[in-house]
């Protein structure tokens, strides 16, 4: 079965204003229980703010490093989920349901990408 990476995108400048509604934790917990029981969720986590991160760039034969925060970037990856689904439609449905658990006043997006299983892994 194919695997998909769901990159959860947030506006880091507004993240401190995110207030959950009374049922948010319960909705998220129920969804995580269901998706895990279905054998779809392989891994998930939130990420620390960009002020804790470092960007590395290969350019002109050299690697440069820039420590966060990355204020020029409005939308950042705030978390991820690694899903194993029968097809893209199923991955889209689970990701849609994840987004719908969030309070309506939040601005949260997701980029869903199928993992290229044809690429050799380091263990191969």
pLDDT average, residue stretch 9-38: 88
Distant-in-sequence, close-in-space partners of 40: CB < 8 Å, separation ≥ 6: 83, 84, 85, 90, 94
pLDDT for 123 equals 61
Helix ranges restricted to H, the chain: 24-37, 88-100
Output the average pLDDT for the chain.
Answer: 91
Stated pTM of the model: 0.84
SS3 77: strand
Q: List b or e across 64-89, with b for residues whose CB sees 16 or more CB atoms inside 10 angstroms.
A: eeeebebeeeeebbbbbbebbbeeee
Phi, psi of 22 (to 5 degrees): -55, -30
pLDDT for 71 equals 73
Please say if the pLDDT value at position 124 is more than 60: no
Evaluate whether 68 touches 56 at the Cβ level (below 8 Å).
no
Higher pLDDT, 121 or 22: 22
- The domains of the chain are located at 3-114
Evaluate whether 32 touches 21 at the Cβ level (below 8 Å).
no
pLDDT for 18 equals 74
CATH of domain 3-114: 3.30.70.1060
- Render pLDDT for 62-106 as a digit per residue (tens, 0 to 9): 999 999 988 777 789 999 999 999 999 999 999 999 999 999 888
């Amino acid at each position: 079965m194919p695997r998909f990476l769901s990159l959860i995108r947030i506006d880091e400048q507004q993240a401190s204003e995110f207030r959950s509604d009374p049922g948010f934790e319960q909705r998220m917990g129920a969804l995580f229980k269901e998706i895990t029981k279905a054998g779809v969720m392989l891994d998930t986590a939130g990420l620390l703010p960009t002020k804790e991160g470092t960007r590395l760039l290969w350019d002109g034969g050299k690697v440069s490093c820039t420590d966060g925060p990355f204020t020029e970037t409005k939308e950042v990856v705030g978390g991820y989920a690694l899903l194993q689904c029968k097809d893209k439609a199923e991955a889209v449905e689970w990701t849609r349901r994840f987004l719908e658990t969030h309070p309506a006043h939040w601005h949260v997006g997701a980029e869903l990408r199928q993992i290229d299983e044809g690429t050799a892994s380091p263990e191969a």
